[in-house]
Amino acid sequence: MPFALNEATRFISPTKTPEFPAAGVPVVCTPIADVVRPYGERGLVEIGAGTEAFVSAAEALLRRPREEWLGRVDAHLSAMSWDAIWAEMDGAVRSLDRTTPRMVLKAAARMVLPKATAAPSRAL
């Protein structure tokens, strides 16, 4: 997964990252934060920063025994599911202080906003 490293990819979290290893397909990726951690750190995906490192990582994958890697992939992915993600997010939302939204709205209501001016005409 050779992503360009720029502002557009700085905060991406590629959904294909777990899908390829789940299908038994080894992956080399440029150092995208959400791929490096946890997939790269756990040896589930190889990380290649730059052309030479990317090619070297791909060549290493071709020589690596698959059975042990597939076992680690299965162990990691077995803890992942959309139900688990939903439960975690739902718990986070429910744990929020229920007064925070009201406090924000009250503060916004007290703000003094500039008076609106007429929109400029759009003469043809």
Domain containing residue 53:
26-77
Asked if residue 112 belongs to a domain, the reply is: no
Q: Please report whether residue 96 resides in a domain.
A: no
- 40 inside domain: yes
Question: Is residue 119 included in any domain, yes or no?
Answer: no
Rounded to 5 degrees, what angle do the CA atoms 77, 9, 63 make? 50
pTM of the model: 0.66
Residue 48 has what DSSP assignment? -
Our count of domains for the chain comes to: 1
In a domain, 121, yes or no: no
Query: Given a cut of 80, is residue 84 above it in pLDDT?
Result: yes
Instruction: Report how far residue 112's alpha carbon sits from residue 124's, in angstroms, rounded to the nearest whole number.
Output: 35
Is 4 among the domain residues? no
| 71 lies in some domain | yes
Residue 90 has a pLDDT of 85
Any domain includes 108: no
Q: What is the pLDDT of residue 13?
A: 87
How does pLDDT run across 86-117, given as a tens digit for each residue? 888 888 888 876 655 666 656 666 655 445 44
Per-residue model confidence as pLDDT tens digits over 39-59: 999 999 999 999 999 999 999
Q: Cβ(55)–Cβ(48) under 8 Å? A: yes
The mean pLDDT of the chain is 83
